[in-house]
Amino acid sequence: MSKNNGNAEKYVSEFPQPAKKKTFSEILYDPNEGTFLGRTPKSWGQLITFYTIFYIVLTIMFTICMQVMLSTINEHHPKWKLDESLIGTNPGMGLRPLSEQTERGSVIRFNKNKPKEAAYWTELLDDFLKDYNHTEGRQMKHCDPSQVHNPDDVCVVDIAKFGPCSSANSYGYRTGTPCVFLKLNKIFDWVPEVYDTVDGSTPAELRDVLTSTKVEERKQIWVTCNGHYGKDKEQFNNITYYPSQGFPAYYYPYQNQPGYLSPVVAVQIVSPPDHEMLEVECRAWAKNIIYSGSLLDRRGSVTFQLIVD
């Protein structure tokens, strides 16, 4: 038996007590601790002051960065042009109509005896040409190859010269003689180097059209369409271009002129084969347009498939 000099030692085991549960009104305001939503007025003041200063500084820094960035941007022309830009100097060729149903791809298929099918493609072309039909308020002029061209001029694309490729004629879809429209992508400051003489460097595909065209009208980016493969070439005949077989050079260069519209060439296939797919390749010709018919890297051309039932 141990001795403790007459003093009995007491051992007390202390365990953490659970926090007292607060009512909803005490969470909003606790009179015992003087807190609102768990913080004292001083703590709330410090928190609000910190975030106010933080967001003011953040806003100032963002404004400075935006002003510096916008100071390098010109509203009228891009900073990087031609070879310096990601777009480069080789314009791509576009085609219309294209179905809104992406699974169709570039296939144009219709039954000339079913007005609804012809109307579908007609409406797509009407939508594509609506800007060309409504030029009110645009400062445009009728250009001619014999005129001196000012780069600031905006030349009219006269849809009246598209011949049978018009909305009134349903662009030929009701009669089984469909039209497609070709255009080049816009590249700022790009100027075409055209084939305008017949010599040893002239491509064989352009010799006939150059010979049959007046000298003063030869400054064009020429366009040719043909069957893509051998079987298509055998069935490809009787084709017409409107208003000419190319994009006149006086539409270039594009310099973001107000009201500018890209030139368009209408191509009508007058005698497509019935109930067979005709694959067509259209190509743009200029000395500074690089051509590639590769499926993975097509340049300077476009293909489409036509089926007339």
Same domain, 128 and 37: no
Same domain, 107 and 62: no
Report the pLDDT value the prediction gives residue 1, as an integer from 0 to 100. 46
Same domain, 177 and 237: yes
Domain count, the chain: 2
Same domain, 51 and 162: no
Q: Is residue 17 situated within a structural domain?
A: no
Q: Is residue 3 situated within a structural domain?
A: no
- Out of 45, 70, 95, a domain closes at 70
Same domain, 294 and 161: yes
Report the pLDDT value the prediction gives residue 302, as an integer from 0 to 100. 93
- Establish how many alpha carbons lie within 13 A of residue 232's alpha carbon, considering only the half-sphere containing its beta carbon: 17
Q: Is residue 269 situated within a structural domain?
A: yes
Q: Is residue 103 situated within a structural domain?
A: yes
Same domain, 137 and 219: yes
Q: Which domain holds residue 261?
A: 82-308
Q: What is the reported pTM?
A: 0.78
Same domain, 166 and 46: no
From the number of C-beta atoms within 10 Å of its C-beta (0-12, 13-18, 19+), residue 74 rates as: exposed
Same domain, 136 and 35: no
Per-residue pLDDT of the chain (309 residues; tens, 9 = 90+): 444 555 555 555 566 666 667 676 766 777 777 777 777 888 888 888 999 999 999 999 999 999 998 888 888 888 888 888 888 889 999 999 999 888 888 899 999 889 899 999 999 999 999 999 887 778 888 888 888 788 788 899 999 999 999 999 999 999 999 999 999 999 999 999 999 998 888 898 999 999 999 998 999 999 999 988 888 888 788 899 999 999 999 999 999 888 899 999 999 999 888 888 999 999 999 999 998 888 888 899 999 999 998
Same domain, 280 and 170: yes
